[in-house]
């Protein structure tokens, strides 16, 4: 009897040792905050492999003039839901002879903080001729070109344009990405609800205008995005957010790099 009891105790001790070996030490486990958790995100090219990437904030051709904090690799990340919807957009525009070109997608909070620091540094106007020639830098906060929070940081917003497969060039949208001014508004020179060109350029401080073709090109992108669950922004023709975004109140902090 004693011998059997000894065998049972030995087996129990061995089983306990095996379980302990398979269970991570709680002291070694790292607690990840919701803002640091990238498990609901995907690398966009894994879902939409034929998008063209021009991640402006990884390079220096942007309104700041340098690489933005948090952009460790020239890639684009989105929530799985936003990426799946963008795949539908890609298939839509490919049938029309275009491909999607991505300027920015998920943006970590440290990147937004970089924008805020730059905007507060009034003398730094290196890129003013290219992105905000009509504005004094001191008004960028007041006019909300720079804000402390961005929809991009929630992970379901994308900045993009169209690439024409026939001409092998970007589709002419009549203005550059990240142009600070009314010329970037979807309703500039037209009605984005009816897709009608009006030629009304009265909001432009310098009398700039876009052509009917350029307005039409903006509407091709807009219509495709709306058809597949994205909502537009009233001040930027290139900016769209998934209507049913999964993290409407979470501003993520992990860096931009391949997942």
Sorted by where each begins, the domain ranges of the chain are 36-242
pLDDT at 135: 97
Could you give the residue numbers annotated as active site?
236
Residue 12 predicted with pLDDT over 80:
no
Return d(Cα 31, Cα 54) in angstroms, integer.
34
Q: Please tell me the predicted confidence (pLDDT) of residue 24.
A: 46
**Tokens 């220096």 label which residue?**
60
| Entry pTM | 0.88
Coil, helix or strand at residue 130: helix
Summarised one tens digit per residue, pLDDT across range 65-118 is 999 999 999 999 999 999 999 999 999 999 999 999 999 999 999 999 999 999
Average per-residue pLDDT in the chain?
92
Q: pLDDT per residue over 36-63, tens digit each?
A: 999 999 999 999 999 999 999 999 999 9
User: What is residue 16's predicted lDDT score, i.e. its pLDDT?
Assistant: 47
pLDDT given for residue 29 in this prediction: 60
- Residue 28 pLDDT: 54
Given a contact cutoff of 8 angstroms between Cβ atoms, the answer to whether 166 and 97 are in contact is yes
Query: Does residue 34 or residue 30 have the better pLDDT?
Result: 34
- Encode pLDDT of 170-217 as tens digits: 999 999 999 999 999 999 999 999 999 999 999 999 999 999 999 999
36-242 CATH fold = Muramoyl-pentapeptide Carboxypeptidase; domain 2 (3.30.1380)
* Nearest-angstrom CA–CA distance, 91 and 114: 35
pLDDT of residue 254: 98
pLDDT computed for residue 131 by the predictor: 98
Q: Nearest CA to 192 among 166, 223, 167, 225?
A: 223
Q: What is the average pLDDT across 6-26?
A: 44
pLDDT band at 32 (very low <50, low <70, confident <90, very high): confident
Q: Are 69 and 21 in contact (CB under 8 A)?
A: no
- Give the model confidence (pLDDT) of 148-174 as tens digits: 999 999 999 999 999 999 999 999 999
Helix or strand or coil: residue 143? coil
Average pLDDT rounded to a whole number, residues 129-154: 97
Q: What is the pLDDT of residue 31?
A: 85
């Amino acid at each position: 009897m004693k011998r059997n009891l000894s065998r049972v105790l030995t087996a129990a001790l061995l089983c306990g040792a095996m379980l302990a070996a398979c269970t991570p030490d709680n002291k070694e486990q790292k607690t990840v905050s919701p803002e640091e958790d990238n498990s609901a995100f995907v690398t966009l090219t894994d879902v939409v492999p034929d998008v063209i990437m021009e991640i402006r904030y990884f390079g220096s051709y942007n309104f700041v003039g340098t690489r933005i904090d948090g952009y460790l690799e020239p890639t684009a990340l989105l929530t799985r839901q936003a990426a799946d919807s963008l795949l539908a957009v890609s298939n839509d525009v490919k049938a029309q002879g275009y491909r999607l070109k991505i300027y920015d997608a998920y943006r970590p909070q440290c990147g937004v903080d970089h924008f805020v620091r730059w905007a507060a540094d009034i003398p730094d106007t290196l890129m003013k001729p290219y992105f905000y020639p009509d504005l004094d830098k001191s008004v960028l906060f007041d006019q909300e070109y720079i804000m402390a929070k961005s929809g991009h940081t929630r992970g379901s917003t994308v900045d993009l344009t169209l690439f024409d497969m026939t001409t092998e060039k970007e589709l002419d949208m009549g203005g550059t990405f990240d142009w600070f001014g009314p010329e970037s508004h979807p309703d500039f020179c037209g009605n984005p609800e009816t897709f009608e060109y009006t030629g009304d350029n009265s909001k432009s401080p310098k009398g700039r205008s876009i052509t009917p073709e350029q307005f039409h090109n903006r509407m091709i992108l807009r219509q495709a995005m709306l058809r597949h669950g994205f909502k537009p922004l009233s001040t930027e023709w290139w900016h769209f957010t998934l209507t049913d975004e999964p993290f409407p109140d979470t501003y993520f902090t992990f860096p931009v790099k391949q997942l």
